[in-house]
Structure 1
Amino acid sequence: MSHAVPTSGVPAERNPFARPRTPNVFSERFHRNAQASTAVVLGLVYGYWVAANNRSGGPITGWNVLLGFVSAFAFAALYLGIHALAPHMRREVHALLWTAFAGCAFGFLYSQTGASVLRSTGMALAVSAVTMATLFYRYYTHEDAEGHRIR
């Protein structure tokens, strides 16, 4: 059975057992650019994947390329929107937003393979359930009730 370790009341600076935090060596501008770059790269990968699933190994057509770029744009825009909005929500809603995003993204991706609507919905719900359980656990253990990160 595990128990909390008693603290001695020594400040973290003088505590020899406290782990020092790693310094943030990058600027805010770098973090904003990295966030936008991540959304673009993930969007392009998602769009390519959607287009590849849609053509099922057939020839690349103009409509297929358009589907890929529209999917990439929608994915990146929703990713950035949720990434900006979710931290301001309570942990339950935060997890639910990312769950809905992951489930819809996977469901659309899976539907492009030619699977039935029921199969695509079932697979999307399965991915959503796993995502919800994982994210809720993560946010529940890393945030307080108001949604502030525990450091």
Structure 2
Amino acid sequence: MAHAIPTTGTSAGAAARGRPPNALPDVFSERTHVAVRWTLLVMAGLLYGYWAASISRRGGPVTGWNLLFGFMTALAFVVLYAVVRVLAQRLPREGHAVLWGAFAGSAVGFLYSRSGVAMFTCVLVSLLVAAAVTGALFYRYYTCEDAEGHRIT
């Protein structure tokens, strides 16, 4: 069976860059994408740190220790997220899904534990969130790979 060879000006350039041929054009540079990725990561970390600090102060006044706790929590979240992002890309789909599930379950479990509930409840909620995230991501990764395990999206 004969196949047509794409010529210059068609979707050959997009396919060569690893993007689907019907994808929207990318108008931003790689530098812009990296800056936005890190900005969103830091903002998510600050939001997570604020959330943990507000839970731990239990409606009381904001203190220096509370601010320090919030910033340290944000820093830990950002560092762990960056490490998980780097490590997950090197794993097969099963490990990829389990790593993100463990990260999500741990993050939710930590916030829930700050509210003062029983540790058994925190562990149970953390395991349920981890299982749900792992299952959802495994399904997504499984349906977005070819038979050899290469990502198609």
* TM-score normalized by the length of structure 2: 0.83
Partner residue, 2:26 = 24
Distance of aligned partners of 1:87 and 1:61 in 2 relative to their CA distance in 1, 3 Å threshold: same
Label 1:122 to 1:30 Cα distance change in 2 as closer, same or farther (>3 A). same
How far off its partner does 1:110 sit?
Answer: 0.4
Structure 2 equivalent of residue 129 of structure 1: 131
- What aligned pairs does 1:69-148 form with structure 2 within 5 A after superposition? 69-144=71-146, 146-148=148-150
Query: Which letter maps to 1:118?
Result: F
Deviations 1:3-30 (A, max 9, x none): xxxxxx677869xxx9722112211111
Distance apart, 1:63 and its partner CA: 1.4
The equivalent of 1:54 in structure 2 is 56
Indicate conservation of the 8 Å contact 1:89/1:147, yes or no.
no
Runs of 4 or more off by more than 4 Å in structure 1?
A: 9-14
- Give the letter for the 1:83 counterpart: R
Contact 1:90 1:146 in 2 (8 A): no
The verdict on how the C-alpha distance between 1:11 and 1:57 changes in structure 2, with shifts beyond 3 A counting, is farther
Listed one character per residue, the Cα deviations across residues 44-97 of structure 1 (whole Å, up to 9, x for unaligned) are 000000001111111111111111101100001111111122112101001111
Does the aligned pair in 2 maintain the 1:87–1:147 contact within 8 Å? no
Instruction: Decide whether aligned partners of structure 1 residues 104 and 83 sit closer, same or farther in structure 2, where only a CA change above 3 A counts.
Output: same
Letter in 1 for 2:44: L
SS at match of 2:24: coil
Structure 1 position 150, deviation (Å): 1.0
* Residue identity matched to 1:111: S
Q: Give the distance between the partners of 1:63 and 1:146, measured in 2 at CA.
A: 51
Identity %: 49
CA RMSD of aligned residues (A): 2.2
Mapped partners of 2:125, 2:5: distance in 1: 50
**Alignment size in residue pairs:** 141
Query: C-alpha displacement at 1:33, in angstroms?
Result: 1.0
